[in-house]
Amino acid sequence: MSVITIVGAGMMGSALAFPARENGNEVRLVGTHLDREIIDTARQTGRHPKFNRDFPAGVSYHQIEELDVALQGADLVIGGVSSFGVDWFGETVLPRVPAGVPVLSVTKGLMDTPDGRLLTYPEVWQQQLARMGKTADINAIGGPCTSYELVAHDQTEVAFCGRDLATLRRIKAMMATDYYHISLSTDVVGIESAVALKNGYALGIALTIGVNQRLFGQNSELHFNSQAAVFGQSVKEMSRLLDYQGAGTLENLAVGAGDLYVTVYGGRTRLVGILLGRGLNIDEAKAELNGVTLESLVVSVRVARAVRRAAELGRLNPADFPLLMHVDSILTDKQPVNIPWESFTFERD
């Protein structure tokens, strides 16, 4: 039996307690400073307030002030913070992880740099730690997985990525179950980029749902032609961006495309995309979804900014990313939705 400490009691961090505990490990769930009510509720009821199933028996619950105690004797630390907690996690949690204990992050996203590059969160954290004179073995989870379906034991396949395959195999042995299936990859940039890129593109696909509701009524039947067209364009643009990251393999693209699919049909990004497609601007859509964390908005703007900067340096052409640039214009400039359909077409001789 291993000891697994999960830091971040949001939906995905908490969902990972299920395969971790059901695989026979001791599991300690630590809430961030934003998770106090969740931890209090779990202590009182044995359940996350947004799940309809109790945590497996034996999971222990800790407030952030108990982090150091919860880290004692840990064999694995899972980071379950959102993109908005990346700096906090790097500054507050990672320096306190005992030496030699691997970290497994479920946080998805990218940071853009002034020279038009895109950094994965493991890269960002390694840079933060280097400034402190520290290092850590940071691994990450990518792939199509919604928290509530993982809790329901729906069959799920994800990819764990990290620098050392032997470490990844040990982590897989701790986490794999008969419903949680894990591929392994040492291409951290590829897996992490693929699952981050899908966020902005899922929003683009969801726009079509809102547009059709605006045109045909909110209770009209779903229209799949337009969704499929934008899905296809999304995969093309994601493939080009993975090539730009030096990570354009079929496996990486497949992980990203699978995550794109599940995000369109089961994620919060779907909600904001539908509202934008109905005609709301981004401020109105955010107000409508008050309290919903929208990480897709952040990554869309960052990636579009990196593309424009890379174009200035002669490395990319924004015309190759018409969907991304349109999504960015909606978010950054509050432009109305006007999907550039004809720019998606091509000729091949």
CB 104 within 8 Å of CB 77: yes
d(CA 306, CA 22): 42
Name the phi and psi angles at 165, rounded to 5: -65, -35
**In whole angstroms, what separates CA 305 from the centre of its chain?**
19
Residues serving a catalytic function are 198
Q: Counting beta carbons within 10 angstroms of the beta carbon of residue 163, is it exposed (0 to 12), middle (13 to 18) or buried (19 or more)? A: middle
CA distance between the termini of the chain: 59
List 118's β-bridge partners, or say none: 112
List 76's β-bridge partners, or say none: 4
Listed residue (122, 141, 262) closest to 191, CA to CA: 141
40-to-35, 45, 60, 190 alpha-carbon distances in Å: 9, 9, 11, 38
